[in-house]
Amino acid sequence: MAVKIKTKHGLIDIDNDVIATVVGGAATDSYGVVGMASKNQIRDNVNVILNRNNYSKGVVVRQEDNGVAVDVNIIVSYGTKISEVSRTVQAKVKYNLETMLGITANAVNVTVQGVQVQSE
């Protein structure tokens, strides 16, 4: 499915993969996030950090009446406060969707799939 936006010049279709890429970029750019995790770890290989080409495997986008709801699966760095990292991801994802795509995020649900110790 795609999000459809009507403008005075015509119709704009934004595919869910585009939304997932914007969401994944915003999430991985947040402090304390090591990377994206797959929403279905058993099928997609357990404990694999997704790269930019696979962000859609870690993001679920659902269309709603007046916006979208997004589920984000992340892996956080050991020693960070998980609640603060999650709040930061929520705020950044919502901001990026509104500024880059003009889409309102009604809900941004963050699921922490794992914690990883970073080597120095």
pLDDT in tens, 30-45: 999 988 888 765 554 5
- pLDDT confidence bin for 109, thresholds 50/70/90: very high
Q: Cα–Cα distances in Å, from 57 out to 12, 43, 49, 74?
A: 24, 11, 11, 11
pLDDT of residue 12 exceeding 90, the answer is: no
The residue ranges of every structural domain in the chain are: 2-116
CATH superfamily of the 2-116 domain? Cation efflux protein, cytoplasmic domain (3.30.70.1350)
Structure tokens belonging to residue 11: 């119709």
26, 93 Cβ separation under 8 angstroms: yes
Identity at 115, one-letter amino acid code: V
Q: Give the whole-number percent of the chain exceeding pLDDT 70.
A: 86
- Among 29, 14, 36, 26, residue whose Cα is nearest residue 101: 14
Q: If DSSP codes are grouped into helix, strand and coil, which group holds residue 76?
A: strand
Q: State residue 17's pLDDT score.
A: 87
